[in-house]
Amino acid sequence: MDLGLSGRVTVVTGGAGGIGLAAASTFAAEGSRIVVWDLGDAEAAARRIRSEFSVDAIGVSVDVTDELAVAAAVDRTIVEVGSIDHLAHAAAVGSGRFGFPFTNLRPADWAKVLQVNVMGMVHVAHAVAPRMVDRATGTMVFLGSVAGQIGSQTDPPYSASKAAGINFAQCLAKDLAPHGVRVNTVCPGMVRTTLNRSVWQAWHDQAAPADRLSYDEWSDRKIRAVVPLGRWQTAEAIADMIVFLSSDRAEHVTGQTINVDGGFVMHW
């Protein structure tokens, strides 16, 4: 199936690792030219993509919490590759703290999560949207989470930030639709990412030592119990949905929140 992405420019925030890197790689497999935005080693990810997929790829070091840095990243991207056709926004953090209940956290534990996950999304949208509006075309896909839909107590700041992101993406979709720009959200379920492991490890470690299983056995049992399909989701599966929603095959899809969660939310 030709997704019509060959030669187009895709910016992937948080593209140096995890789901962001999987998305960048999947876009590259479709022939997209890739711009990796990341606070980490964006150029290393770009080199890997160039080597593996033989497409143009550049890395831009950017902190999405810095409005001026994001604007500068857009300017550099336009200068070096000419346009931004697609945006996949995966940059996000968790609080590193554990809820159940929320009073296990302090109000100060919220600030960084909201700054990265909410204001980072705001900065990126404000910087990228005018470029797409000027060209009357483009797509944005934001990485959400099922935690933003069910009031997950696991990491309350993260859950709240993802709920805000889902809502803001719908606002963007309504505002930008008259300009030919589509906006959607993809919500992963249970993916073996570094962020997921840090949260689940804290959950696992709360068990009494005498009752504690190994982390792998405990987490696999939990997945089988709460995910109807009975297995972890993969970063590649999330990337496939991001890429599809960005493609011409999804030209009538906007303002949607699509779960790739093995049925988790249905089960909840």
Active site residues: 158
Cα–Cα distance, 242 to 15 (Å, whole number): 13
Q: Which helix (H) or strand (E) holds 47?
A: helix 42-53
- The answer to whether residues 37 and 10 touch, using CB atoms and an 8 Å cutoff, is no
- In which order are the strands placed within the sheet that holds 33-38? 57-61, 33-38, 9-13, 86-89, 138-143, 181-188, 257-260
Amino acid identity at 161 = S
Cα–Cα distance, 183 to 82 (Å, whole number): 21
Cα–Cα distance, 243 to 199 (Å, whole number): 27
Cα–Cα distance, 224 to 233 (Å, whole number): 12
- The answer to whether residues 184 and 172 touch, using CB atoms and an 8 Å cutoff, is no
Q: Which helix (H) or strand (E) holds 74?
A: helix 67-81
Sign of the torsion angle spanned by Cα atoms 212, 215, 220, 223: positive
Whose structure tokens read 């299983």? 213
Cα–Cα distance, 49 to 34 (Å, whole number): 8
Q: How many other C-beta atoms can be found within 10 angstroms of the C-beta atom of residue 153?
A: 14
